[in-house]
């Protein structure tokens, strides 16, 4: 095993660990907003770690460059989708957890149906 393959496998294992903790948060946290923030942040970073590890292992070959190209795509699309889902869930009428302390978006939105 070369040194760059060792480093690549290390980065991939790091990313998979982030994925595991994200899915643990998705299972254990109490309401939909908490689950969304735990799951989306951890799983986005974990997938980026896997793709970066593949780039480190393969270098500037076809597979490596495509994996490197996937990183900005994941970083751009996954948080935008999560934001749209959180906003949709709030408009849909999902209640916050009973121990949540502040709901700023409800105060901003008021009765305006366009926001």
Partner 1 sequence: MGIQICFYILIGCCFACLIRAWLGKTVPDRMVAIDIMGTLAVGMTAILALLTGRDFFIDVALAWIFLSFIGTLALAKYLAHKTLDE
Q: Which residues bind partner 1 (CB under 8 A)?
A: 9, 12-13, 15-16, 19-20, 22-24, 26-27, 32, 35-36, 39-40, 43-44, 46-47, 50-51, 54, 57-58, 62-63, 66-67, 69-70, 73-74, 77-78, 80-82, 84-85, 87-89, 91-92, 94
Task: Tell me how far, at minimum, the Cβ of 60 lies from partner 1, in Å.
Answer: 14
Q: Compute CA distances 45 → 4, 18, 74, 92, 106, whole Å.
A: 21, 7, 9, 28, 29
CA dihedral 25, 93, 83, 23 (to 10 degrees): 10
Chain centroid offset of residue 13 CA: 17
Q: How far is the CB of 46 from partner 1 (least distance, A)?
A: 7
């Amino acid at each position: 095993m070369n040194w760059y393959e060792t480093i690549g496998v290390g980065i991939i294992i790091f990313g998979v660990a982030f994925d595991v903790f994200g899915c643990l948060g998705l299972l254990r946290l109490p309401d939909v907003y908490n689950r969304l923030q735990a799951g989306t942040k951890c799983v986005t970073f974990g997938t980026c770690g896997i793709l970066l590890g593949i780039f480190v292992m393969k270098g500037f070959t076809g597979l490596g460059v495509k994996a490197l190209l996937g990183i900005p795509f994941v970083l751009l699309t996954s948080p935008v989708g999560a934001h749209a889902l959180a906003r949709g869930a709030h408009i849909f009428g999902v209640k916050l957890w009973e121990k949540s302390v502040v709901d700023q978006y409800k105060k901003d939105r008021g009765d305006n149906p366009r926001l």
